[in-house]
Structure 1
Amino acid sequence: MRTISAAETAPATYAWAVHAEQLKVRAGRHLAVDGLDLRLRTGVHGLLGPNGAGKTTLMRALATVLKTAGGELTLLGEPVSGRGDLRRVRRELGYLPQDFGFYPRFTVREFVEYMAWLKEMPKASIPAAAQRAVERVGLTAKADAKMKTLSGGMVRRAGIAQAIVNDPQVLLLDEPTVGLDPEQRLDFRELLADIGVDSCVLVSTHLVEDVVAACTDVVLVNEGKLVFQGSPEALMAHGEQGDPGFSPAERGYSALLRRHRGGAA
């Protein structure tokens, strides 16, 4: 029997959970991400930007769904843009796309367990992991209900459950609060804070106030380029009373976009 070395059992170490340099990604023929630099560590990061800014394309590239068209992308210390071990990386990823498919006749539990199996989780650990994920998103009472019977908000929460079932080191959530009521959004913020203690979480949303409330770091993109990265307080500091928006965060967001479009940022 081969002896396993300490190096093989030691936890992986890397400077950044997500590290992109001059990243380029195409959406069809369009270069939706164009020379973007991004570095993300453990914590909750909010991804903001107007429609067409490249947010979804960026999320899909980080989820290894889309191939990069240029630049360098490293996830959890593994190069994704070259010949990295994508299977190893994907086992440590959680991803909720804007629109996701499911078998309507699956129960919530079956759906989450099936996604855990696709992520190559150990078979013996899947039932307990699925149960815990369902509980964390508040769907315990609906665990054995068929997916086709759920409301839109419940389907979204089931989607979040499948994204977190493997306790991912990198969690990517694209518009996760669509369909959630105000109380559910508050619960979701608490869940993000809990996950962000040990994982790198990136949440794409149009709701600036959700980012300010739930995230410790804000990433703003426009036309496929990084416009701003910093704390919510730093984002708010860029706004002035005359800028569009109903809150300091919205005014800071508007001011940064205006300056970027005018070539001042």
Structure 2
Amino acid sequence: MRTVSLAETASSTYAWPVHAEKLQVRAGRHLAVDELDMRLGTGVHGLLGPNGAGKTTLMRALATVVKASGGRLTVLGGEVTGNADLRQVRRGLGYLPQHFGFYPRFTVREFVEYIAWLKEMPKAAIPGAVQRAVERVGLADRADTRMKTLSGGMLRRAGIAQAIVNDPAVLLLDEPTVGLDPEQRLDFRELLREIGLDSCVLVSTHLVEDVAVACSDVVLISEGRLVWQGTAGQLAEQGGAGDAGDSATERGYSAVLRAYRGRVSA
């Protein structure tokens, strides 16, 4: 039996778990997200784009780590722009950044427990939720191992465990498969598909094939703007023999980007 999250027991009157309208977000002085319109529902969504496209800045905005500088953004029905109270939204979020911090002397269990406490989970529910999260990422035998002794791949799995401990309604994963070996990536894809049955999952990655296999929907951005959105199969159909890539999905990705750059430069 899994722990029921606060997000699941809250009223869900919103149409879209994630809804951005003309969203603008700055990274320093640079406008990294520029008037982006995006709606995400239940399922696993892959976020693709070249380096500097604004993927990480967008993820940070959705996670309420940085504030939007323009436009409108709602997550789980809550306004996350302006001076809104973000506590309720954050209780329903799970977030794995590219680089996450931790106390090196914490064990895996202590680290995930600490994150559960930060998310204001009910005290009685935390031990069971932590054990389940650790088991789901394949770290049950390392639960009482100190974080500082883990390999890079194990650290990444601990990061995924803390992101899913509260059974989030919106799960944001920034480059989650970095450091995972091929077998672990296969397990991770299966976990994504499982979570995506009930939650809105957004995965930012450079690995197009991970998106093709695990994601029901693909969001492609460039220069902070939405370039294309559709299924992985539809993305594969965009490419042809002359486009760069080792697979149909990669060729579709290259074709969509090339077409966008052609429109912008015209």
TM-score, normalising length: structure 2: 0.95
Deviation string, structure 1 residues 56-103 (Cα, Å, up to 9, x no partner): 000000000010010000111111113433100000000000000001
SS at match of 1:56: helix
Per the alignment, do residues 173 and 181 of structure 1 end up closer, same or farther by CA in structure 2, a change over 3 Å counting? same
SS at match of 2:243: coil
Shift of 1:11: 3.3
Shift of 1:120: 0.7
**How do 1:163-182 and structure 2 match up within 5 A?**
163-182=163-182
SS at match of 2:98: coil
Instruction: Letter of the 1:146 partner, please give it.
Output: R
Q: Percent identity?
A: 77
Q: Residue in 2 aligned with 1:235?
A: 235
- 1:197 and 1:86 map into 2 onto residues whose CA distance is 25
Q: Residue in 2 aligned with 1:202?
A: 202
Instruction: Letter of the 2:236 partner, please give it.
Output: M
Shift of 1:223: 0.3
Deviation string, structure 1 residues 4-52 (Cα, Å, up to 9, x no partner): xxxxx77322110000001000000000000100000000000000100
Instruction: Letter of the 2:22 partner, please give it.
Output: Q
Instruction: Letter of the 2:177 partner, please give it.
Output: T
Q: Residue in 1 aligned with 2:78?
A: 78
Q: Residue in 2 aligned with 1:220?
A: 220
- RMSD of equivalent CA atoms: 1.2
Instruction: Letter of the 1:114 partner, please give it.
Output: Y
- 2:150 and 2:10 map into 1 onto residues whose CA distance is 42
SS at match of 1:244: coil
> After alignment, is 169-178 or 120-129 more displaced?
120-129
Q: Residue in 2 aligned with 1:211?
A: 211
- 1:238 and 1:194 map into 2 onto residues whose CA distance is 28
Instruction: Letter of the 2:158 partner, please give it.
Output: A
- 1:59 and 1:229 map into 2 onto residues whose CA distance is 17
- 2:18 and 2:35 map into 1 onto residues whose CA distance is 15
- 2:206 and 2:196 map into 1 onto residues whose CA distance is 20
Instruction: Letter of the 1:203 partner, please give it.
Output: V
Query: Tell me, which stretches of 5 or more residues in structure 1 are unaligned?
Result: 1-8
2:57 aligned with 1:61, yes or no?
no
Query: Tell me, which stretches of 5 or more residues in structure 2 are unaligned?
Result: 1-8
- 1:164 and 1:228 map into 2 onto residues whose CA distance is 28
- 1:256 and 1:20 map into 2 onto residues whose CA distance is 22
- Report how many aligned residue pairs link the two structures: 257
SS at match of 1:72: strand
- 1:35 and 1:245 map into 2 onto residues whose CA distance is 29
- 1:84 and 1:56 map into 2 onto residues whose CA distance is 22
- 1:80 and 1:112 map into 2 onto residues whose CA distance is 25
2:78 aligned with 1:102, yes or no?
no
Q: Residue in 1 aligned with 2:6?
A: none
Deviation string, structure 1 residues 188-244 (Cα, Å, up to 9, x no partner): 000001100110000000000000000000000000000000001110111011001
Instruction: Letter of the 2:47 partner, please give it.
Output: L
- 1:165 and 1:111 map into 2 onto residues whose CA distance is 11
